[in-house]
Structure 1
Amino acid sequence: MSRLTNHLIVISFDCLSALDFPLLRTLPHFKTILEKGSYVEKVETIYPSVTYPCHTTIVTGNYPNRHGIINNTLLQPGRSSPDWNWYRSLISGTTLYDEAKKANLTTAALLWPVTGKANIDYNLPEIFPNRPWQNQIFISLRNGSPRYQWDLNKRFGHLRNGINQPELDEFVLESTVHTIKTKKPNLLLVHFTDLDTQRHDYGFSSNEAIAAIHRHNDRLGRILAALKESGIYENSTIVALGDHSALDENMALHLNVLLHTEKLITINAKGKINNWKAYCKSCDGSAYIYLKDRNDSETTTKVKELLDSLLVNPEAGIEKVLSGDEAASKGADSSCVFMVEAKKGYYFLEDVQGDYVKKITREDVLADPKYTLACHGYSPEKPEYSTIFMAAGKGIRKKTIVPQARLIDEGPTLARLLGLNLGNTDGKIIEELLTLTDNY
């Protein structure tokens, strides 16, 4: 299969929405991509539409229940800070970077989710210390490319302020520019999270979110300049994409409080979970309901009755309840017993004590990162909830607008640009975007 480009630069602007197009068209570097290349007006995300499943779908072309990353974090009831799906070993099947390596292409990834210990030549994985005794630099070095990371930290580590934004993205940007100039990778995956952070903390259309989009435009400009300075611009393809959109909310739902009331969760004197029969695992705008014993029909009935009662209560914040099979048919985790969708304005948390519904204020957000004023994780069927895909350069048609595509279509499309094949994927190549030179 012929290769359409020599260098594929994939830039993920976490939480970039189709609703951002009017602004992007006014910003010089996004405007360059839109005018010189092609784009998809509305990209349908996946369910649940959270960052780690989304980014794994982008590099596999498959839905979560097939690639195995069905949520950001693991099911660990009672743990105040659950572990995340950090490691490549948790992904089922192949990925874009695996196939690139097999084809002897040079690969690089900067803060791309679920790349811990991946076989990537230059890898700075997205991973953070989740235990008091862990150290950020050490845990990153241990799970990525040590020499490469050590050099980046020596050069640009002063820009970081832990994982706070926008400092983290400034570190990633300088690391990206340096990587382009010194490594000239055939595949480069970059993940920026500044916009996602601002939308969580201040709201979808907040001044802070708008400022983050302007910063992203500047970052895109620096990357384009680096490609030109390194002499590979004419043989490169630049892809800018989002993984999901977001919706404003200010009401948190705590289903585990009700499960505790029903004695399906028990806690000790310190309020910590010591046993559970059913548990609500948040995906922000949606949630999985898991049973400790999938064959526990009595608990299943109890949970269903509870959810049915909430569904008919307009104040309960529940829009829809799916069975495990229905969730699986939408690409979500088939091992859940139910999947619950929040109404617009609501999202799920995992607290076991307190009120079922809590109104969120800016003061709450400042006090505790679990509180947000906009989030994602909702069903892709929610209105005005699409994300974006734009591309320019080698292998991309000029001035082509595709009305609609799916996040699952991006993996096969990216693979085709590099002359690779991800196999039998859920998604298909968006051929309208490409200057195909054979009949593939």
Structure 2
Amino acid sequence: MNKLTDHLIVISFDCLSEHDVPLLKKLPNFKSFIENSSYCTQVETIYPSVTYPCHATIVTGNYPNRHGIVNNTYMQPGRISPDWFWHRHHIKGTTLYDEAKKAGMKTAALLWPVTAKADIAYNMPEIFANRPWHHQIPVSLFNGSPRYQLEMNSKFGHIRNGLSQPELDDFVLESTVETIKTRKPELMLIHFVDLDSQRHMHGFSSEEAKAALQRHDKRLGRIMETLKEAGISENSTVAILGDHSALDESKVVKLNVLFKERGLIQTNASGKLTDWKAYCKSCDGSAYVYINDPDDYAAKNEVSDILAELLQNERNGIETVITGSEANEKGADGTAFRMLEAARGFYFSEAIEGDYIEEVTDEDAKTKKYTLACHGYSPEKEGYHTVFFAAGKGIRPGFSIKSMHLVDEGPTFARLLGLDLGDTDGFIIEGILDI
């Protein structure tokens, strides 16, 4: 299969929404890019619409139940800070960067989720020091490309302030610019998190979120200018995308509190979980309910009774309940007993102490106990689309797509590079391609 471009740069602006488009069209670099792009402002995301499943979908063209990344974090009942699906080995099947590597292409990824220990030439994976005895730098070095990361840290590490934003994205930007200039990768995956962080902490339409979009505009401008300076602009394709949108919320639903009251979760004297029959695993705006023993019909009946009671009053914060098989049909984890969708204004926590519903305060957001906006909701929620823009070599400019799905992006990227992801859930968006 002939390739349509020599360099593909995929820029994920985490939490970029359809509602951001009017502002993007006023910002100089986004405006210029959009005017020369083919695009879709009604991209349907996946379920659950959280970052790690979304980014695995983008590089595989498959739904979570097929690529295996069904949530951000592991099912680790009782752990205050569960581990994340950081590592490539969690993804079932091939990926865009695997196929690029097989074809002899030079690959790079900067903070792209689920790439720890991936076979990427220049890899700076998104992974956190999640144990008290861990330190961020060795954790990153061990799970990515050590020499490359040491070089980026020695040049730009002074910009970072731990995982805080916007400094982390500023560090990623400088590393991106340096990588384009010195490596000229044929496939480059970049993940910026500034906007998502500001929305979590301050709300969807906050001034802080608008400021993040303005910073993203400058970051985009730097990347586009660098492609020109590196002499590869004419032979490059740039894709700008979001992974999900977000919704404001002010109340936290803590279903595990009820499970504990009904004897489905046991704790010791200090309140630590010691055993469980049923557990609510949060995906923020949605949640899975798992049963420890699949043959425990008493637990299943108890959970069903609890959920039936809660559904009678919308103030309990649960909009819908579906079965595991119904969740599987939507591309989510079919091994769950039930999947729950939060009502607008609510989201789920795994906490097992306190009240069933807790109000979120500004102080909670400042201390990162809770958030003021989140994602994870059903893609069927109204006004919850993300976006996709592509411009450059191999792209027909000015082509507007009425609707598409997140699973379509991977196959389309593969076609641009002359690669094949095989039998995927998504389809190539051929209308935007200059074939």
TM > 0.5: yes
Which structure 2 residues correspond to residues 93-104 of structure 1 after superposition, within 5 A? 93-104=93-104
Given residue 268 of structure 1, which amino acid in structure 2 is its aligned partner?
A: N
Cα drift, residue 365 of structure 1:
1.1
Cα separation, 1, equivalents of 2:107 and 2:364: 41
Which residue pairs with 1:391 in the alignment?
390
> Alignment length, in residue pairs?
435
Which residue pairs with 2:412 in the alignment?
413
Given residue 418 of structure 1, which amino acid in structure 2 is its aligned partner?
A: L
Given residue 45 of structure 2, which amino acid in structure 1 is its aligned partner?
A: T
Which residue pairs with 2:112 in the alignment?
112
Deviation per CA, 1:8-57: give whole Å up to 9, x if none.
Answer: 00000000001111011111111122111210121000000000000000
Query: What TM-score comes out, normalization by structure 1 length?
Result: 0.98
SS of corresponding position for 2:78 = coil
Which residue pairs with 2:403 in the alignment?
404
Which structure 2 residues correspond to residues 354-393 of structure 1 after superposition, within 5 A? 354-367=354-367, 369-393=368-392
SS of corresponding position for 1:383 = coil
Given residue 286 of structure 1, which amino acid in structure 2 is its aligned partner?
A: S
Which residue pairs with 2:12 in the alignment?
12
Which residue pairs with 1:430 in the alignment?
429
Cα separation, 1, equivalents of 2:384 and 2:53: 17
Preserved CA contact (<8 Å) 2:60 2:410: yes
Preserved CA contact (<8 Å) 2:314 2:343: no
Preserved CA contact (<8 Å) 2:74 2:83: yes
SS of corresponding position for 1:33 = helix
Which structure 2 residues correspond to residues 286-305 of structure 1 after superposition, within 5 A? 286-305=286-305
Cα drift, residue 370 of structure 1:
3.8
SS of corresponding position for 1:99 = helix
Which structure 2 residues correspond to residues 238-317 of structure 1 after superposition, within 5 A? 238-317=238-317
Cα drift, residue 252 of structure 1:
0.3
SS of corresponding position for 1:138 = helix
Given residue 189 of structure 1, which amino acid in structure 2 is its aligned partner?
A: L
Which residue pairs with 1:200 in the alignment?
200
Preserved CA contact (<8 Å) 2:17 2:245: yes
Cα separation, 1, equivalents of 2:369 and 2:318: 20
Cα separation, 1, equivalents of 2:365 and 2:210: 19
Q: Which runs of 5+ in 2 are unaligned?
A: none
Cα drift, residue 403 of structure 1:
1.0
Cα drift, residue 133 of structure 1:
0.5
Cα separation, 1, equivalents of 2:64 and 2:180: 31
Cα separation, 2, equivalents of 1:308 and 1:330: 22
Which residue pairs with 1:327 in the alignment?
327
Deviation per CA, 1:285-344: give whole Å up to 9, x if none.
Answer: 000000111121111111011001111112101100010000000000011000000001
SS of corresponding position for 1:399 = coil
Cα separation, 2, equivalents of 1:366 and 1:212: 17
SS of corresponding position for 1:403 = coil
Which residue pairs with 2:219 in the alignment?
219
Deviation per CA, 1:169-218: give whole Å up to 9, x if none.
Answer: 00000000000000000000000000000000000000000000000000
Cα separation, 2, equivalents of 1:147 and 1:370: 36
Which residue pairs with 1:87 in the alignment?
87
Deviation per CA, 1:147-181: give whole Å up to 9, x if none.
Answer: 00000000000000000000000000000000000
Which residue pairs with 1:183 in the alignment?
183
Given residue 145 of structure 1, which amino acid in structure 2 is its aligned partner?
A: S
Identity of aligned residues (%): 63
Cα drift, residue 63 of structure 1:
0.2
Cα separation, 2, equivalents of 1:197 and 1:83: 19
Which residue pairs with 2:3 in the alignment?
3
Cα separation, 2, equivalents of 1:103 and 1:53: 25
Cα separation, 1, equivalents of 2:410 and 2:201: 30
SS of corresponding position for 2:211 = helix
Deviation per CA, 1:201-241: give whole Å up to 9, x if none.
Answer: 00000000000000000000000011000000000001000
Deviation per CA, 1:255-304: give whole Å up to 9, x if none.
Answer: 00000001000000111000000000000000000011112111111101
Cα separation, 1, equivalents of 2:34 and 2:157: 33
SS of corresponding position for 2:180 = helix
SS of corresponding position for 1:239 = strand
Q: Kindly report the root-mean-square deviation, in angstroms, between the aligned alpha carbons of the 2 structures.
A: 0.5
Cα drift, residue 79 of structure 1:
0.8
Cα separation, 1, equivalents of 2:317 and 2:37: 42
Cα separation, 1, equivalents of 2:186 and 2:81: 36
Q: Which runs of 5+ in 1 are unaligned?
A: none
Cα separation, 2, equivalents of 1:370 and 1:96: 36
Deviation per CA, 1:116-141: give whole Å up to 9, x if none.
Answer: 00000000000010001101000000
Given residue 388 of structure 1, which amino acid in structure 2 is its aligned partner?
A: V
Cα drift, residue 366 of structure 1:
1.4
Cα drift, residue 427 of structure 1:
0.4
Q: Which runs of 4+ in 1 moved over 3 A?
A: none
Cα separation, 2, equivalents of 1:138 and 1:244: 31
Query: What TM-score comes out, normalization by structure 2 length?
Result: 0.99
Given residue 282 of structure 2, which amino acid in structure 1 is its aligned partner?
A: S
SS of corresponding position for 1:401 = coil
Given residue 372 of structure 1, which amino acid in structure 2 is its aligned partner?
A: T
SS of corresponding position for 2:401 = strand
Which residue pairs with 2:166 in the alignment?
166
Cα separation, 1, equivalents of 2:297 and 2:432: 50
